[in-house]
Structures are given as structure tokens and as C-alpha cells.
Structure 1
């Protein structure tokens, strides 16, 4: 490794026609137009052009390692993220708006019960001056795109976010990517932490406030589902008891039925219904999908939509979890990562 690269200085390769530089601590390779390669001098002074770039369109979606990151807003826009940009996409008008408040990759997204306020969490990054920036969550207005609050105090990255549903959305829960995957609850309008506790030594894939039980939070991930109760500033947990049901390698997704039951989808392809207010299984839809169930979405009419990875199927279930319809996503589009 050259001394220049060690010090994160730009390097020009005349033979290969590229400049390798570091932007916010990350290596980036930029290839030069062929007609200027021979005459290019890395350190020769250059005048900035009079025009400024404006972001017009963002391609892609981060589905490889993130879930529950696609929502439909009252404006008709779909909100999701890729890299450090949160995209608000109007399919009908084929227009995008962009929230660009983050300094590095966004890993999670939550929508407030008012369906206007949004929270997004990012990884640790670097500022424009190269100095490290701690991972944080940003709460912002999806109409004006103005940042309302910045919530800090996380390790490595913020991987899960959820607004409380039944108390006006005054709380925001978060899980970070530290070794202990800390679960914290925030009074986000005051930017103050209410409670914090070790969640799990294993990866945590989802965290959600219960829609009607104000103080109940459900988290899930590798070989676990946990039911948390917030009392004052104390979080206490009950571990989901699988009893005779074989414990899955991963509990991948979670949602809530209209009667308050918790519904989880797992890597074994099972839908498990956990009785309201308990940590015990009420019923199981075994083999609902071939392979993992990456997404479960409760619809307003009480039917459940589940999305499979290996089988690429979207399946609609009635309120007794009987199959109503199914559709297979073409292989070219890959597995179902999330639904909204």
C-alpha cells in the first residue's frame, strides 16, 4: 500500500485512467474521460464550474440487509432509502423528492402515526472535514423535508426504529448495532432517553411498538422473539416460548392483528400467532412459505399479506389465517423483501 493511500490522499493512475480518492472516509474510484487522461494533472489548479449539481433521480433500493423500510404516505408517495438518501417517490407523476440530512448510510425507517413525521437511522460516518460522526436517528417532516430532531447516543449503527402508536406517537424506540444490540426508548420531542437495556447478543432484525398496548414493544431476530414492557423508566422482557414448536433460526418479521395478537414470520416459513398480552403461541400456520418470510403486513380489512424469500410469493390470508390468494413474483425481480 502506498504512503499516499495510507494518508488517504488522492491517487491518479495514468495507465488505468482513474483517480482514487476518499470521500467521507470511504475510497471512491473515478474514471476520467479518455480524451483528458493524457493531459490530466492531479495537483494542477482547476477552476470550479459556475454550475451547481442538483439531485434529480436516485436509483436503487436497499433491500439486501434491511427490512420494513418501505411505506406509503398520504401524499401518494412511497418512502424508502438507499445509501444516505431517503427517497419520496410519486409513482403516478414519476417524480422524486429527497431527504438528504444524513451523513452516511441509512439503515432503518419508521413512520409516525400522523403519517407525516418520519424517523430514519444511520450508521457511524465521517463529516466533510473527515472527522468521525456518531450514528444517530433523525426525525423529520415528510412534507417540508425539514429536520425536527436529532437523537444520538448509539453504537456502530441504528438498525431498528419504531414510533409508539397509542399515546400520540410521543415515544421512539431504537435498536443499535453494538455487541449487545441496545434497545432504547426516547421522548423524541424532548430528545431525551427514557430507558435503555441490553436487547440481545444475537442480531436484532425488527422492533415494533404494539398498536394498542401503549407500553409493549416486540423485538425479534436470530433465534428469539422478545416482549418488552415499559414501566416508568424500566424495560422488562419476556422471551417468546416456542414449547413444542421447533425454534426457528431467525424470526424475520413481525406485525399485529386487529385483536392485538402478535404475528411473526420466520426462516422456517412458518407464521406464528402469539396471544395478545402473552409470550405463548396461540396458533401456527406451518409451511406458510417455502423458506423465510421476510415481511408480514396487516391490512386495514384484517387480512394479512406475507412475503416469502425463497418462493418469491405474496400470499393473502383471511382473519382465520386461511389462504385467500397468492401471487409469485417473477424470478428476475428476486425475493420479496418488504411489503407496504
Structure 2
């Protein structure tokens, strides 16, 4: 019994309103980089479904940049640590780790020989450092600013020059190496968000929250002019990126546009309009080979099309916040993965290609706790916004009429046959039929935590915080207590009937999973031990002989019902984050999700 990671559907960049997002480009032009939480995500630029994730930072990562040689990536986190690691091996071995200052790292730049690195950010005593990559010894001082430094760049041709931009509305210019302060330029009237040298080193651009872009001589820092006259954009500018031939640059702004500039004339050749919503603010951009990319506040990555400025060639969607639950559904012979996030978004993925879209319309406004698909091809989802929604998977669009307002917050939902479903809310168990509440059990005397509908439809099992599982029979539109309690080892966290209805698996906070045999009056079939922390989710395999469990310990186990010792253990399935959801695509493929906002597919040899 063995497993291998088949594919990763990566998260989007984690965005923050009014904060620039630095994207990194691969010097060979194959990949691009960004960060989300403690992960650095490397994606193929031609086929973004191909992704790799680096998860060795113990703190949230802010920025990652390729070395000009392409062999290493330097990534910096909020604690001020910078890690330099290998890109050529799958394991991404750590080469060096430094702590240039204590505080958030906001930008990184390499010299073209890949030997020196400049980092800037929110230090306590200093806001920047420049050092040799292999020894960490200093090659100059970054001084001249009185506030946080947001951005840094180094000229990629000799003689080297270094430029920084800061919240004190100034840019500083340094000569080196070793880098020494030459001058401060205070042309901007608001924060400076981005400074970038052209690839040929002849000039550099600085862009700020005042909506202006200034151009300077790359060797002397002499001001050469502005782009777009008095104002380049209506809103603040968060990022600029030069074309490979240094003749053009793109700028991304809070006014929801990206502009392509002809540097020689200082005019905008193309204006890309990317929407009208607050979430369409553009906070980052990248130019790699002939790809122009920008990233929206929503986290969506836009591939810009010069021939059609109002419609991107493609938009990469996904989750930028933690994924809370998932389910799988077959549509037109294809498997589709549905994932629900902490922010209320529900996305769906083509299991083969990784193509992703979000369900359209106004949906949940808070964390999606659980989803299930019923016989009528409706996605039944419950959320912390106190609602249960029914979404027609043929249309994949939220409908205001298919919304059930619950009296109290729902925790989980399970669907049964004939339009029935059961929801567990705080202190309540609610029976639903055809999108209506038909029966409510309250004054239970215990706190319900999980539920499962028997595939045959006659029975609902409800697990409580008291470690007991109660069985209710479905009689018409009511639930009747059968007076039969099953004992779990601790407070119940999840429960699932096998697909043929023969077994009930119950997981608990005491790290145990108990499987009951339905036909034997719910006699205990087996107890399964292995998790080091509480088990959070369960999923039965289509063959009914195996089931998977995921826990707070970041582990996934695949168990064999008839033999508790025969199992597959997937350690660190989502490094640094617990497993939040499990589903089977087929008998040999398991899907996992986690708070790292990624969806992973595992191939199992059972």
C-alpha cells in the first residue's frame, strides 16, 4: 500500500487592501512566484495548473524572488527571516538562512551575478540590508529613510546601483558595491510603493500612492521625466514592471486598471480595465517573455491581452483564504471538485485539467462549513452566515429563492434520498425536505456536533459533544428518537455512512475512529488508532472497503475496514496546516484540502 501526490491545485496570492503584492518571474521565463500564508507558490506561466509549493517558512511569507541564474529562490517572511533555497530539486533544499533585521520583509533584489541580495521592510533599528548570499556578510548600508522601506531594486548591469522607496515619500539612490548612500529624491507626495530598474540598466521608474510614475537615469539618478504627465493613474500605483527590451512598462493601480506605457514618449499605449468592483483593484504586475500578468485584490491573476484590453486572455481563479470543506460530483462523465472557503466562496475545479471557476452571483457571506450534493444535482451548503443554500449544479449560479435562513448557526449538513437533508445547528437538529424546514428537534439535552443520513433514507445518526451517537428514524416529515445510543471514545467530530449503508464511521476528539456495522444492530466492527491529534473529517471510498481520515496532526490515513493494521499513512499532507476536507474521486484517487488554500490529489495503491 503506497501513495503519491498526483497534482496540486494551488492557492491564489493572499491579498490585503492597499498593500502591493510583489510577483517574482523566472529568468528563463517558465514560471512565476507569489506567496500565500506560509507558502511560496511556483506556477508554470504557460499552464498555471502545474504548480509547486514551498512550505518551509515557520511564519507567513511576504515576498519571493528568483536569482538571475534561476537556480535559487530567496523568500522573506514577517519575522525578518530570509531563506535561500534550491529550485532544481523537488525537495527545494535550503542553502542559507539569514535574519538581516527583525520585522516584516517587503521586497528582495539580487545582483545579476546572483551573489548579492538586498532586502528591505519593517525593521526595528534598520529598514534594509545588503549582503553576500553565501556568507551573509554586509556589502553596504541602506540608509536615508525615516520610515518603512516598501521596495528595492538593483541595476542588472555594472556599475551597480541600488534604489529604494519608502513610506516617507522618498526614494534613495546608492552606488556600490559596497553600497553607499548617494542621494535622496523626494518627487512623490505620498508613499512610494515600487521602484524598478529597466533590464538594460539605462533608467529606473518609481511609482507611488500619489498616482505618479517618475523616470530617472539608471547611473546618475538624474530625473528624466514622468509617464502620463501630471498623473499616470487616477488611483495609487502599487507596482510597475518593465518589458524585456526596456522600451515599455506596465503599471498596476488601485483605480482597477493596468496601463502599458511607451517609455520614449511617456504615453499610455493601452489601458486594461479589469472591472468596477473594489476587488478589481490591481495590486501587482509582472512581465515575463510575452506574458503580461496582473493580480487583483480578489487574488485573481489576470493574463492581459494587448489586442483586447477589456477582456483578459485568461483569469486564474481559486481560493486565497483557507478551504473549509469539499465534495466531488460527476457531471457529463467528468469529475468536478467543489471546495468551500472561509470567506464564503465556493469554487469548482475540473479534476483532470485544474480549470477553475467560482459559482456566480451573491452567495454565502461567511465560512462554508459543509457541502453535499443531493439526488437532484443540487449543491447543499451550510455556512456560518446562518443559512443553508441549494445551488443548481446545471446553472452553477446562486439563487436568492433557494436560500434557507436557520434560527441558529448551522454546523454541518448531510443529504439523504427523496429530497431530504438533515442539518445540525447549535442546540438543534433540523430535518429539511425540498428546500424547506419540515421538522426541528431542540431541547436535546446534549450539544449536537455531526450528523449522517443513511443512504437508504430511514435513519439519521447525530453525534454529540458528550461522546454519544444517537439514532433517529425518519417517519414522514419527522424524526423519532430510536432510544439507541452508540458510544464513541470522545466528543464526536465527524461521521459518515459507507456508500452502501453497511457501516457507520465516527471520528472523535480522542484521536479514534470507531466503525459500527449497521446490520448487526450497530455493533462495533473496529477501532482505528493512529492520529496524534483530533480527527476532523472522514470520507468513504467508493468500494466501501476503505475510508480516509484527516486530522489536526496534518496527517491523512486510508484505512481498511476489515483490518485496522492495514493502512496508508500520508504524513504532512498539507505541511503546517491541518486537513479540513476529504473526498474520493475514484477508488484510487483521494482529494484533500486544508487551510493552506490548496487542493491536492493523491494516487493510492491499495
Q: TM-score range by the shorter chain?
A: 0.7 to 0.9
| Distance of aligned partners of 1:55 and 1:190 in 2 relative to their CA distance in 1, 3 Å threshold | farther
TM-score by length of 2: 0.42
The counterpart of 2:109, out of the listed 162, 169, 172, is 162
Deviation at 1:207, TM superposition (A): 0.7
Aligned residue number for residue 287 of structure 1: 231
Alignment of 1:132-151 (within 5 A): 135-144=80-89, 145-151=92-98
- Provide the rounded CA distance (Å) in 2 between the counterparts of 1:53 and 1:115: 25
Q: Are positions 1:152 and 2:99 aligned together?
A: yes
Aligned residue number for residue 31 of structure 2: 77
Alignment of 1:1-340 (within 5 A): 56-64=8-16, 65-72=19-26, 74=28, 76-90=30-44, 92=47, 94-124=49-79, 135-144=80-89, 145-165=92-112, 168-222=113-167, 223-232=169-178, 235-242=180-187, 247-257=188-198, 258=200, 260-285=202-227, 286-320=230-264, 321-332=266-277, 333-340=279-286
Deviation at 1:231, TM superposition (A): 4.5
**Aligned 8 A contact 1:217 1:227 in 2:** yes
1:37-76 CA deviation, whole Å, 9 max, x = no partner?
A: xxxxxxxxxxxxx999999444231332343234246373
- Provide the rounded CA distance (Å) in 2 between the counterparts of 1:214 and 1:221: 24
- Provide the rounded CA distance (Å) in 1 between the counterparts of 2:236 and 2:197: 19
Structure 1: 5+ residue stretches without partners: 1-49, 125-134
**Aligned 8 A contact 1:253 1:295 in 2:** yes
Deviation at 1:151, TM superposition (A): 1.6
| Distance of aligned partners of 1:174 and 1:163 in 2 relative to their CA distance in 1, 3 Å threshold | same
User: Does the residue aligned with 2:224 lie in a helix, a strand or coil?
Assistant: strand
TM-score by length of 1: 0.72
| Distance of aligned partners of 1:248 and 1:304 in 2 relative to their CA distance in 1, 3 Å threshold | farther
- Provide the rounded CA distance (Å) in 1 between the counterparts of 2:31 and 2:214: 32
Aligned residue number for residue 47 of structure 1: none
- Provide the rounded CA distance (Å) in 1 between the counterparts of 2:273 and 2:263: 22
- Provide the rounded CA distance (Å) in 1 between the counterparts of 2:129 and 2:186: 23
RMSD over equivalenced CA pairs, Å: 2.7
Deviation at 1:173, TM superposition (A): 0.9
- Provide the rounded CA distance (Å) in 1 between the counterparts of 2:156 and 2:64: 17
Deviation at 1:289, TM superposition (A): 1.0
- Provide the rounded CA distance (Å) in 1 between the counterparts of 2:252 and 2:142: 32
Moved more, 187-196 or 289-298: 187-196
Deviation at 1:116, TM superposition (A): 3.0
Moved more, 216-225 or 295-304: 295-304
Moved more, 290-299 or 212-221: 212-221
1:130-164 CA deviation, whole Å, 9 max, x = no partner?
A: xxxxx310111222122111122421232221101
**Aligned 8 A contact 2:59 2:78 in 1:** yes
- Provide the rounded CA distance (Å) in 1 between the counterparts of 2:163 and 2:29: 29
Deviation at 1:188, TM superposition (A): 0.8
Q: How many residues align?
A: 274
Deviation at 1:210, TM superposition (A): 1.2
- Provide the rounded CA distance (Å) in 2 between the counterparts of 1:75 and 1:146: 22
1:103-130 CA deviation, whole Å, 9 max, x = no partner?
A: 1111122221112311001122xxxxxx
| Distance of aligned partners of 1:322 and 1:66 in 2 relative to their CA distance in 1, 3 Å threshold | closer
- Provide the rounded CA distance (Å) in 2 between the counterparts of 1:72 and 1:304: 19
Structure 2: 5+ residue stretches without partners: 287-606
- Provide the rounded CA distance (Å) in 2 between the counterparts of 1:330 and 1:186: 42
| Distance of aligned partners of 1:54 and 1:94 in 2 relative to their CA distance in 1, 3 Å threshold | closer
Structure exhibiting the larger radius of gyration computed from Cα positions: 2
**Aligned 8 A contact 1:62 1:83 in 2:** yes
| Distance of aligned partners of 1:180 and 1:190 in 2 relative to their CA distance in 1, 3 Å threshold | closer
- Provide the rounded CA distance (Å) in 2 between the counterparts of 1:301 and 1:52: 42
- Provide the rounded CA distance (Å) in 2 between the counterparts of 1:92 and 1:264: 31
User: Does the residue aligned with 1:212 lie in a helix, a strand or coil?
Assistant: coil
**Aligned 8 A contact 2:144 2:184 in 1:** no
